[in-house]
Amino acid sequence: MASLHSGEWRDICDKFTTAQQLNESQTDPETDPFRSKYNARELLREIYRSLKSFEAADGEEDSGGESGEQRPTEEPLDGQKEDSSGPSISGDSADGLRAAKLGAVEYYLGVNHIDTEELSAGQEHLMNCLKQLERCSVSSQNVSLCIHVRNQLGILWAGRDETEMAQGYLETAESIYQCYMKEDGTPPTDMTEYFTTEENMLTHQERTKRFGLAFTHTMYYLAQVYKSLGQTERAATYCHTTLQRQLQLNQFNPMEWALNAASLSQYYITRGHYMEGRHCLAAATVVSDLAGEVPSEAAAQESEAESERREQLRQKRAEIGRCWIKYCLNLLQDAKKQLEDNIGELDTDRQDELKRARRREEEEEEKGRKSALLFGSDDTFDSIASAEEKVLCFCPLDYTEARSVYLVGQNYVIQAKEYFQMDGYVTDHIEILQDHSALFRALTFFEEDLERRCKIHKRRIDLLEPICNELNSKYYLLIRRQLMFELAETYNEMMDLKLTLANRQADTQSLDSHTIKKSNSLCTASAKYFQMFLDSLCSPDGKFPEHLEEEVLRPALVARFRVARLHSRLISSSPQVQLVNLNKSLENYKYVVQYCEAHPEATSAVETELELSTEMAGLLPLKINRLKARMASNN
């Protein structure tokens, strides 16, 4: 082959450099979007022919097909060799280097064809590259190419929804990297160096960075593959590794990295791994700040680029904020599950037990952090640790701790609503309001003062009621149903609290008119929203469905049960009004019983409600008859 110092070789190197520049060109006209890539392709073919002619001149035998022609190839899974005897050429030898150079041209032609949407031709060139490499042992001269070509084949097959094929190539790439780093570990030759003059060779530091980045891409693609295969835990591990490697190599877009880290946090949160989830979110917050300040409205109006940047930064930071909201909400809800007794109240014995265990957990935290894969570089590690300290990663055990979590969540609610406003983001805005309401509700569990609990629930109503009444059911029916049901439950909880307070008062004195009026008002409001929910299920002619669809089955039957209960809780001194309320209550209890009798499959959805409805459907007629008798005797 021609000397590295010869004019012919320098000509090849110049052609390669030009081809690379053409492949990356962004100046092609819309009418001919691939012009530069087609020109790059011709240069690569010329390089391939030159390499083959050098090989022939050196007396070498033809070691592969011709890149300019389309050649059929078989598609064995990666790791299966056509020649069972294994590699016949040392990767470090001159022949191994020749094979690597030919393979590299095939690789670049493959990527070129894929970029121009000629996938079959691209696949063929990549397979030709793989065949060249399979003749040689893995060495520092070809290991980078070995990984790159398998990464590209993995992407190609994943794009065709052939996930297992993609998995085979990518896992082989991972194995090659790990074996090389264990057995050799020296910075390997980069593919671009095959066609670089000696004075332009890369430094060891740059080689290490590029090789590490290739493997980072392998990790990233494997994360996507495992996610597609439903292997969520494995996908999360690979995603975490990818993000950490990107930070270490300083190869990342701050906002994209931050959003990926925030998204990863949601996986950890749903599995109760709050320390890892918090770490991801703290890192996302810190790294997102590296993107700089949000341009002002004035700057956005003067520049399209600044306008786009303003939009991107505001949106992605709001999305990260929403991930923080979910973190706080899930932490509070999980704490409630740990601390509640069988009637949903705070179990103080359990609370004391968990507080005693807390000290042991804190001691274990540091050990856990040392074994966990932490994000951060020299520039960001301290900032990430500082951001973590602002919120708990253990379930709160009392009101003070719960409130501190709530306040963090509320802060991100305010931030998220600044971007996701009703005007333009109706669904997102309402989801944020619903999360805010859920934060309030979770906080009430820790509040021992019943009057203060009522006030917190009132804030939930103030959040949701105006929106519910403003929404058009024609366009937002499902959202309105959610809001109706939540408002009905919130009024119901307030009524229960008021009656509990009233019953305490009744130990020493009778209920006053104000208490009765307030209780009845809450009871009526709850029943109204439950009935609005039920009415929303009716046909246009106002007929309630004979068969309830699965997605509304439980809510509809629970709403009927609650309406029945609410009518029986209304307080009135008038026997006539009492009779009307009891009859309405009986009617709804009977509906739950009769529907489940007609549709036995519905029983499992409302077992508790059905049991109570059956009992009340038997008891209420007796109560109604006694009331009627008393009314008759009074007349």
pLDDT by residue (tens digit) across 591-614?
999 999 999 999 999 999 999 999
> pLDDT band at residue 17, thresholds of 50, 70 and 90?
very high
**Nearest Cα to Cα of residue 559 among 591, 597, 583, 582:** 591
- Residue 205 neighbours by CB distance under 10 Å: 9
What is the C-alpha to C-alpha distance for residues 482 and 173, in angstroms, rounded to an integer? 48
- How does pLDDT run across 454-503, given as a tens digit for each residue? 999 999 999 999 999 999 988 999 999 999 999 999 999 999 998 888 77
Half-sphere exposure of 327 (CA within 13 A, CB side): 35
What is the C-alpha to C-alpha distance for residues 259 and 239, in angstroms, rounded to an integer? 12
Query: What's the burial of 571, exposed, middle or buried (CB within 10 Å: 0-12/13-18/19+)?
Result: middle
Dihedral angle, C-alpha 17, 22, 25, 31, nearest 10 °: 180
What are the angstrom distances between the C-alpha of 33 and each of 26, 68, 438? Answer: 9, 22, 51
- Indicate whether 238 pLDDT > 80: yes
Dihedral angle, C-alpha 475, 478, 484, 487, nearest 10 °: -110
pTM of the predicted model as reported, rounded to 2 decimal places: 0.85
- Indicate whether 620 pLDDT > 90: yes
CB 262 within 8 A of CB 278: no
Q: Please report the pLDDT score of residue 366 as a whole number.
A: 56
- Residue 160 neighbours by CB distance under 10 Å: 11
- Residue 50 neighbours by CB distance under 10 Å: 18
- Residue 444 neighbours by CB distance under 10 Å: 20
- How does pLDDT run across 313-325, given as a tens digit for each residue? 999 999 999 999 9
Q: Please report the pLDDT score of residue 235 as a whole number.
A: 95
- Residue 62 neighbours by CB distance under 10 Å: 9
What is the C-alpha to C-alpha distance for residues 275 and 36, in angstroms, rounded to an integer? 49
- Amino acid symbol at 168: G
What is the C-alpha to C-alpha distance for residues 498 and 386, in angstroms, rounded to an integer? 43
- Indicate whether 71 pLDDT > 70: no
Tokens of 402: 């719960």
Helix (H, G, I), strand (E, B) or coil at 74: coil
Mean pLDDT of the chain: 90
